Amino acid sequence: MSGHAARTATADVVCLGESMVTFLPSQPGRLADVPSFARGIGGAESNVACALAAAGHRAAWVGRVGADGFGDHLVEAITGYGVDTSAVRRDPDRPTGIYFRTATDRATDAHEVAYYRAGSAASAMSPHNVPYESVLAGRVLHLSGITAALSADCLALLDDLTAPRENRPLISFDVNHRPGLWRGGDAGPAVLLGLARRSDLVFVGEDEAEEAWGLHGAGAIRAALPEPALLVVKRGADGVTVFSRAGDRARDTVTDVPSLHVDVVAAVGAGDAFAAGFLSATLRDLPVRDRARHGHLMAAAVLTVPGDLTGPPPRAHADRLAALDDEAWGTLRLGPGWTAAAGANEEVRIT
């Protein structure tokens, strides 16, 4: 964060994007067979904001919701996590987006999601109706490729926010390739590549890089994305590879950080939680290895609860775990309730 320290910021992180009301199934099965749903909130960027606020950072979410009850619920729920929502705009003519999903892992063929977001209030975000004074007020601006896919206006907004500008915040970009959102052509992969190359910190999964760009392996991804000072390649169960450099002409430092052993309750929300943990440690100027470990720990907190959001582990507890030597890190196994284990490391370890 040293290269961005000179700018006065009123927030640690500003997250911009669409948040939706999500309906979670009361039991496993096809959407056609689920009898009832519980209401929650969902949205990659607002998830990151909520996790960062819960971890003690000054986080803001900027978005656009309808002037309807679902919009009321979103703003109230996100504010309840301690997130600044004062820059959220209400659209009198367009609805708040909603979606329904099944209980199965998103990576399986059995997983179903029914989105009702076409023409949503968030899809009308543009450079002309988003409050730039609020969007650019953080030390970090966190964006994702989902927003770029919502409409031509949303893409124009992300193009403008990632363009070079004097004294801009650190631009964090989660690729979040969602092929189903890129209708009417195959422009999505090229758009996402361009946005990533103009960002400072990029999160991308090996699987989505292969699907979007035909790239295989972390090295090939770095070769295609040489500009970001920090590139985090997520390799699933194998952990992450982080490419980092201190200046434009500096050589990359490559840091591999294994994943944790986690007793998964629900495989949702982990990517957003990882980004929040990594950003939290970045704000604290921790070493790259520890940034990735905090990402893994925040992801483990979400993976061991049923929903997309949960409280993070206490900072001191997470710091102790992140500081373990490689052998001890490799023996950790985290299950439901582990975030409450604020005592000795052995409370969450297996040997």
Q: What single string gives the DSSP state of each residue in 181-207? A: G--SSS-HHHHHHHHHHT-SEEEEEHH
20-to-111, 204, 296 alpha-carbon distances in Å: 19, 23, 25
Structure-block tokens of residue 110: 């059995």
Residue 351: per-residue pLDDT? 30
Residue 120: per-residue pLDDT? 97
Residue 247 burial (C-beta neighbours within 10 Å; 0-12, 13-18, 19+):
exposed
Contact predicate 324/345, CB 8 Å: yes
The amino acid present at 259, given as its one-letter code, is S
Q: Which of 12, 174, 200, 272 is catalytic?
A: 272
Residue 4: per-residue pLDDT? 52
For all residues of the chain together, what is the average pLDDT? 91
Compute φ and ψ for 84, nearest 5 degrees: -75, 115
Residue 350: per-residue pLDDT? 35
Residue 129: per-residue pLDDT? 96
Structure-block tokens of residue 341: 């284990």
All residues at 6 or more sequence positions from 183 whose CB lies less than 8 Å from its CB, including other chains:
none
Nearest to 198 by CA among 236, 232, 234, 160: 160
| Per-residue pLDDT of the chain in tens (351 residues, 90 and over written 9) | 655 544 577 899 999 999 999 998 999 899 999 999 999 999 999 999 999 999 999 999 999 999 999 999 999 999 999 999 999 999 999 999 999 988 876 666 678 889 999 999 999 999 999 999 999 999 999 999 999 999 999 999 999 999 999 999 999 999 999 988 887 667 899 999 999 999 999 999 999 999 999 999 999 999 999 999 999 999 998 999 999 998 777 799 999 999 999 999 877 789 999 999 999 999 999 999 999 999 999 999 999 987 778 889 999 999 999 999 999 999 999 999 998 865 444 344 433
Q: How far is it, in rounded angstroms, from Cα 35 to Cα 155? A: 37
DSSP letter (8 states) at residue 164: -
Compute φ and ψ for 41, nearest 5 degrees: -125, 150
Residue 348: per-residue pLDDT? 46
Q: How far is it, in rounded angstroms, from Cα 338 to Cα 252? A: 35
Tell me the per-residue pLDDT of 139-189, one tens digit each, with 9 for 90 and over: 999 999 999 999 999 999 999 999 999 999 999 999 999 988 887 667 899
DSSP letter (8 states) at residue 301: H
Residue 247: per-residue pLDDT? 76
Task: Respond yes or no: is residue 272 known to be catalytic.
Answer: yes
Nearest to 160 by CA among 171, 176, 146, 150: 171
